[in-house]
Amino acid sequence: MSAPEARPPVLEVRKLSKAFGGLKVSHDVSFSVRPGELSAIIGPNGAGKTTLFNLITGKLSPDGGEILFKGERIDGLPTPEIARRGIGRAFQVTSVFPERTAHENVLVAVLARRGLTDRLFRRAGACGEAVEEATGLLAMLHLEGKADAKAGSLPHGDQKRLDIAVALALNPELVLLDEPMAGMSPEERAVTVDLIRRIWKERSLTLLFIEHDMDVVFGISQWIRVLNQGMLLAEGTPEEISKNRLVITAYLGEEIVE
């Protein structure tokens, strides 16, 4: 991680706070994400991981603190505006358009990014470049054979990858994946891990993912941030995190330390 350090951070979170009633789900969280970073966010259930994604993408607005994307404040902006600036997101509970085909799911995202959705009198299926791009994205996520299937009828793992394809269709610079491997079989996990790593590399993305599978987390992350009770407990390289006393007591447990 030498070269990226010189460039300004893609995402900067400063003293971010959010409370639901008396419960502080995000408490003075500060960190910077370097361009091109592939990093994980871990922590026990209720640590505020998904809340953090919701704050970054504008689904929630923070009570305090700042969020900067490429040096500009984005906290408080509406979700569509943040998406347009280049933050794509896939969801913990898969979020697709169930009655539309897999291809239509991706195509509408491609059309949105290309600014073609104000077209009324041209068939969406006749927008050649966009159609091809959607086809390419499906192939990239190993869904080429499922293009005409209704998204809602696809197996869980396929829906998860479709969700990622939709997020990538926006050509985002920063991608947030919320438990991309949740509910997948071990084989699917292995494939998906490779896939994510390959896409991250090919598209030179900055990628942040939430994950509970520690083999995955420690296997592919360059950097790990640990949240606990709404606070950033620690961050560092996988080696540093695996030796961090605080993290071990709060989350990892003893057995991970050799």
Partner 1 sequence: MTGGKDGTRASGPGHVAQWGAALLFFALVPLSGRSFFVQMANEILIMGLFAMSFNLLYGVTGMLSFGQAAFYGVGAYTVGLLLGKGILPYPAALLLSPVAGALLALILGPLCIRLSGVYFTMLTLAFAELVWGIVFKWYGFTGGDNGIQGIPTPASLHDPVRYYYFTLAIAFPCFAALRRVVESPFGAVLQSIRENPERTGFLGIRIRRYQLAAMVISGAFAGLAGGLFAGFQRSIHPNMLHWTKSGEVILMSILGGVSSFFGPLVGAGVILFIEDMIGKYTEFWEIWIGGIMLAIVIFFPRGVIGTFDGWVRRWRGHVGA
The CB-of-249 to partner 1 minimum distance in angstroms stands at 36
Of 26, 54, 57, 192, the residue at the interface with partner 1 (CB under 8 A) is 57
Of 41, 47, 107, 164, the residue at the interface with partner 1 (CB under 8 A) is 107
Cβ(125)–Cβ(131) under 8 Å?
yes
Q: Which C-beta is closer to partner 1: that of 112 or that of 195?
A: 112
- The first and second tokens of residue 85, run together, are 């600036």
Question: Is there binding between residue 240 and partner 1 (CB under 8 A)?
Answer: no
Q: Which C-beta is closer to partner 1: that of 150 or that of 197?
A: 150
φ, ψ at 117 (rounded to 5°) = -80, 0
Q: Which residues of 94-129 are buried (b: 16+ CB within 10 A; e: fewer)?
A: bebbeeebbbbbbbbbbbbbeeeeeeeeeebeebee
Cβ neighbours of residue 84 closer than 8 Å, sequence gap 6 or more: none
Give which of 202, 170, 143 is closest to 80, Cα–Cα.
170
Q: For residues 43, 44, 45 and 48, what is the CA-based torsion angle, rounded to 10 degrees?
A: -40
Size of the site for partner 1 (CB under 8 A): 40
Stretch that binds partner 1, among 8-16, 90-98, 179-187, 238-246 (CB under 8 A): 90-98
Beta bridge partners of 23: 20
Question: Is there binding between residue 160 and partner 1 (CB under 8 A)?
Answer: no
Of 66, 97, 135, 195, the residue at the interface with partner 1 (CB under 8 A) is 97
Question: Is there binding between residue 38 and partner 1 (CB under 8 A)?
Answer: no
CA 210 – CA 182 distance, rounded (Å): 10
Strands of the chain, DSSP E = 11-20, 23-33, 38-42, 64-69, 72-73, 87-90, 174-178, 206-210, 223-228, 231-236
The CB-of-113 to partner 1 minimum distance in angstroms stands at 7
The CB-of-12 to partner 1 minimum distance in angstroms stands at 21
Cβ(16)–Cβ(65) under 8 Å?
yes
Residues in region 110-139 near partner 1 by CB under 8 A: 111-113, 116-125, 127, 130
Question: Is there binding between residue 98 and partner 1 (CB under 8 A)?
Answer: yes
Q: Which C-beta is closer to partner 1: that of 130 or that of 252?
A: 130
The CB-of-7 to partner 1 minimum distance in angstroms stands at 25
Helix axes 102-113, 156-168, angle to 10 degrees: 20
Binding mask 192-231 for partner 1 (x = CB under 8 A): ----------------------------------------
Residues at the interface with partner 1 (CB under 8 A): 57, 59, 78-81, 83-84, 88-89, 91, 95-100, 104, 107-109, 111-113, 116-125, 127, 130, 166-167, 169-170
